[in-house]
Structure 1
Amino acid sequence: MGDGVTFDRAELARRAGDIGAAGGVRAVVLDDGAERGIRVLEFRTGGGLAFDVLVDRAMDLGTAEFRGNGFGWRSATGFRHPGLHEYADEGGLSMLRSFSGLLLTAGLDHTLFTAEVDASQYRYPHRAAVWNGLHGRVANIPARLHGYGERWIDDERCVLWAEGEVRQAAIFGEHLRLTRRIEADLGGTEIRLIDTVRNAGFDPTPHMYLYHVNVGWPFLDEGARYELPLERTLWQSDSVAEQGASNVEMPAPQKGFVEQVYEHELKPDATGKVRPRLVNERLGVFFELEYDSAQFPAFFQWLHLREGAYAVGFEPSTHHVQGEPAAREDGSMTFLEPGEERRYETTFRVGEL
């Protein structure tokens, strides 16, 4: 396990009466402060990787560590219970009061900035348009847990897993369902995310999807390097020119830093995969995100290097940074027909240099 030795099912059984001696998945409920009541699945692979799945937060990924060093961003908000969330609060920016962890999922029908858009396809005269807040609704919807545990494959390889369904639905509105499966190998150092989004309703329904993957200290620190298979930069926020902070060599936390956001065109390999990463040579570790460029044709880099909220983001997206109104105007907006679905397969990988 942690020493690089692997065991098959029989050999592991000889050494321990419970697989929990090597790793596994444990269900707990958080019980204090704004997090109280959130169901969590704690994954330990035995290969140095440990992470939490927030069942009541769309099965997003919260705390994440590799050999004692954290890489899942921890903000001051903590993992706030979704019952405290008010979607339309603060002009649609209420997500910022529950923004923490390795993964925040954006969607299912809207991502990026706030927007009011046409909803005439739902044929309800009193709701001709729908208003959407920053990054949509899904991240604050609890999942219906299908199951979790450990599964041996041919008695040679053990897979830790969890699966659930998140339902985003309204009368005279969208009916989208996200089925999420999370896997990690016993003894392994990667998290596999398999998502399927299906239009379970009977009207053509908008679909936008984005992963806000957030890496924090100590993986992120002064001198850490953000590596990209960069073809070209398509867009950048005004703060890039105003501040001039490098998006490759990371500085220490900055006083009053204004977030810097980029949209990059990245070069996929021969299989269509893209692998941006953060490298920390002082710790001798890396974090890597692997995704399919056909599933996520856009990619944003987020630098939030302010004191007290120090993070960098990896954001594969189905749509460009201008958001939903621009996508509807230029014809690139995705509408799922009744019964239609989209599948997304992504890997989060950590390791030693």
Structure 2
Amino acid sequence: MKLQLIDVDHGIHETHNRISAAAGAASIGMTRLHGGLSDGVDVVTLNNGRLQLKLLPTRGMGVWKGEVDGVPVQWNSPVQRPVHPTWVDPMRLGGIGWVDGFNELIVRCGLGWHGAPGKDRITDSAGNVVAEPFLPLHGRIANLAAHSVTAELHEDQLSVTGVVDEGCLFGGWLRLQSTLRTRLNSAEFEIIDTVTNLAATPAESEILYHCNVGEPFLGAGSVLHTAVRELAPRNARAAEGINMWNLYEGPQTGFAEQVYFADPAPDVSGWASSVLADPESERAFAVHFDTSTLPWFTLWKNTGACQDGYVTGLEPGSTFPNPRQIEREQGRLKTLQPGESVTYRLRFEVATSKARTRQILDAVTALQVATPRTVHAEPKTGWAS
């Protein structure tokens, strides 16, 4: 069973019908928000009977929030509702205007660049500087709308596929085809993204999955469980907390963010895991990712006051979130040839019982025990900008 929710080329925008199964307990449908900064934002609601997710085609196919077994999976941002990209000026606040629309559970950063704002340096084959553009925070993809969105229900599998183009004259043409899929009555879902260079010239591309979690998974005593080969603070501020880099305190007014970069340790299949467990280890939010194309991991700790955004980010990426020039110089930035594609795969699970949480944590612990780990007290040369 298939339902075309959006098809700009054929004038399709479907908000009246939905597809459903299991006597209506599982369904996929779309609504459009009206009023305020959310005016014109499309929201696709996917419900598999146990897990509910709200996807945002208007915002790069990000996942706004979810719920599993009645437990909210989200964070409390000062940006309370989805913001239409029209209202986001990326150059505001010195190039961090991206945060004006930031409230998603999962938001992509990319595709041409991501990371901290800063000046890039473009050179020709002879090494001559031909341009020095200023690149604002986290790229364009989260503020671009899908021109095609399809919902499918096949046997026990539900999926939503969206296509988003990031392109402009003289600026390249990258296409994201994103599929989010899950199964009936499952607490898991996966994301499969393919990025293709549709231009006639090579294009640099990088991506980071900003996966953001708040209460009830995050609280005083919460722990991040992840197996890494190497980890380092991004800067002096992060170095202050290196002895408790994976431990969390309660909300603190005025808390200054801390960021840690890591080389994740994958299992025999090449997948790595990062799991946030609540203080009692009764619930957990797990991010599993394919390190063949997402070889780096960033941890963002922003445990400020609840009203200001009490949240942590688990962030698999093709690169670290440094200015693009740094990632290019360090050889982490990928160049796609004309017509070339790269596929990114992630799997998410929400554990709502102590038994399942323990199973997930035991797997991560076993992997770390088998992997030597180096934790640097200071920023690592070549990693931090």
TM-score interval for Structure 1 and Structure 2 normalised by the shorter chain: 0.7 to 0.9
Q: 1:247 Cα deviation (Å)?
A: 2.9
Aligned to 1:5: none
Q: 1:219 Cα deviation (Å)?
A: 1.8
Change (3 A) 1:332 1:236: closer
Change (3 A) 1:224 1:205: same
Q: 1:18 Cα deviation (Å)?
A: 5.5
Please give the alpha-carbon distance, in whole angstroms, between the structure 2 residues aligned to 1:280 and 1:287: 9
Q: Is 1:74 aligned to residue 69 of structure 2?
A: no
Is the CA contact 2:208–2:321 (under 8 Å) kept in the aligned structure 1? Answer: no
Is the CA contact 1:70–1:216 (under 8 Å) kept in the aligned structure 2? Answer: no
Identity, % of aligned pairs?
27
Q: 1:164 Cα deviation (Å)?
A: 1.2
Aligned to 2:176: 178
Q: Is 1:291 aligned to residue 293 of structure 2?
A: no
Q: 1:120 Cα deviation (Å)?
A: 6.2
Q: Please provide the CA RMSD for this pair.
A: 2.0
Aligned to 1:56: 58
Please give the alpha-carbon distance, in whole angstroms, between the structure 2 residues aligned to 1:26 and 1:222: 37
Change (3 A) 1:321 1:142: closer
> Comparing 84-93 with 256-265, which one deviates more in the overlay?
84-93
Letter aligned with residue 60 of structure 1: G
Change (3 A) 1:170 1:331: same
Please give the alpha-carbon distance, in whole angstroms, between the structure 2 residues aligned to 1:168 and 1:106: 12
Q: 1:243 Cα deviation (Å)?
A: 5.6
> Comparing 311-320 with 229-238, which one deviates more in the overlay?
229-238
Q: 1:278 Cα deviation (Å)?
A: 0.8
Deviations 1:36-74 (A, max 9, x none): 221011111112x21100110011000112222222223
Partner SS for 2:244: coil
Please give the alpha-carbon distance, in whole angstroms, between the structure 2 residues aligned to 1:245 and 1:67: 35
Q: Is 1:217 aligned to residue 215 of structure 2?
A: yes
Is the CA contact 1:228–1:275 (under 8 Å) kept in the aligned structure 2? Answer: yes
Letter aligned with residue 326 of structure 2: A
> Comparing 222-231 with 189-198, which one deviates more in the overlay?
222-231
Q: 1:299 Cα deviation (Å)?
A: 0.6
Partner SS for 1:239: helix
Please give the alpha-carbon distance, in whole angstroms, between the structure 2 residues aligned to 1:242 and 1:32: 44
> Comparing 199-208 with 23-32, which one deviates more in the overlay?
23-32
TM-score normalised by structure 2 residue count: 0.80
Please give the alpha-carbon distance, in whole angstroms, between the structure 1 residues aligned to 2:239 and 2:21: 56
Is the CA contact 1:289–1:347 (under 8 Å) kept in the aligned structure 2? Answer: yes
Number of residue pairs the alignment of both structures matches: 326
Letter aligned with residue 341 of structure 2: E
Please give the alpha-carbon distance, in whole angstroms, between the structure 2 residues aligned to 1:223 and 1:331: 37
Aligned to 2:323: 323
Q: Is 1:338 aligned to residue 377 of structure 2?
A: no
Q: 1:227 Cα deviation (Å)?
A: 0.7
Please give the alpha-carbon distance, in whole angstroms, between the structure 1 residues aligned to 2:169 and 2:291: 34
Q: 1:109 Cα deviation (Å)?
A: 0.8
Change (3 A) 1:172 1:253: same
